[in-house]
Amino acid sequence: MKLGMLTACLPGWPLARIAAWAAENGYQALEVAVWPDAGGRDFVASHLPVADFGPREVDRTRELFDRHGLELSAFAYYENNLHPDPERRAGIRAHLKHAIDAAQALGVPYVGTFVGRDWTRPVAENLREAERILPELVEYAGERNVRIIVENCVMEGWHPDGYPGNLAYSPELWEWMFSLGLYLNYDPSHLVWIGIDPVEVIAPYAERIVHAQAKDVELDPRARNRFGHFGPATDRTDPWGMGWWRYRVPGLGQVSWTNVVDRLYEHGFTGTLSVEHEDPVWGGDDERVTQGLRIAHRTLRPLILD
């Protein structure tokens, strides 16, 4: 197991600066954000131009990672592959294929994305639609020796009422997506707030957990008693504001990282545990973000064997 970090938390930094900082601060791998330069979610980051990735870019990227002694654990392009707008969905699909092509060129084993959801249709219809379109992407990746990994993020902000916007949030849905050839980018933080024990679900699905993200979550049970599980209903100005929980860097929330890492080791996990920094306390500017990454490193590095 190696300790890495997702580069999306530093969208204004070039990849060379992130790589130098990560190596100097004890990180061993990078999960590189590869959204397009234009559009996307608020914290979109584009750290490699995968849509135009030729031999020159391949050589530069290899040299950068070799120089700093880092691994490139995965590409990150977490978008809605079931988007209800056909044009938007087609653009997401095309860019995901660009990411897969670039991963093949660099020998990167994984490209991360979301299953997503068409929030105008019920779950059953979404599952059938995913069964229609996702296997071709899995095959495209497999032909290039790349696996598609899906993070189990609920993506409640994609649904107008705060319901799941990514149909890969529970073990029931993991089993379904595994049948399509997808793998799991396991993130315990999402499991905690939806009431699933993040430690207990590792063993049954260990063979499909090939990459992991380290993000913590802080719960406020008193606020939950007011809003309920789905968050504010009458004054929801922020689609991502659930009102009773927030993300934290590892060590500042409810996840038992000692137990999570121990269980991953017990079941043979040899991939990267990648810090995904979305902590609002340690956010807002680059200095605070990097301090948050240092806190995460101090929490997790002692748990990972050399």
| Residues 156/164, Cβ–Cβ less than 8 Å | yes
3-state secondary structure of 192: helix
| d(C-alpha 122, C-alpha 127), whole Å | 9
Digitized pLDDT (tens) for each residue of the chain, 306 residues in all: 999 999 999 999 999 999 999 999 999 999 999 999 865 444 579 999 999 999 999 999 999 999 999 999 999 999 999 999 999 999 999 999 999 999 999 999 999 999 999 999 999 999 999 999 999 999 999 999 999 999 999 999 999 888 999 999 999 999 999 999 999 999 999 999 999 999 999 999 999 999 999 999 999 999 999 999 999 999 888 889 999 999 999 999 999 999 999 999 999 999 999 999 999 999 999 999 999 999 999 999 999 998
| Residues 193/184, Cβ–Cβ less than 8 Å | no
Q: Work out whether strand 245-248 and strand 216-219 pair parallel, antiparallel, or are unpaired.
A: antiparallel
- Domains in the chain and their CATH numbers? 2-303 (3.20.20.150)
104, containing H or E segment: helix 86-106
**Among the listed residues 3, 83, 72, 63, the one whose alpha carbon sits nearest the alpha carbon of residue 32:** 72
Q: What is the pLDDT of residue 306?
A: 84
**Among the listed residues 220, 274, 223, the one whose alpha carbon sits nearest the alpha carbon of residue 250:** 274
Q: What is the pLDDT of residue 253?
A: 98
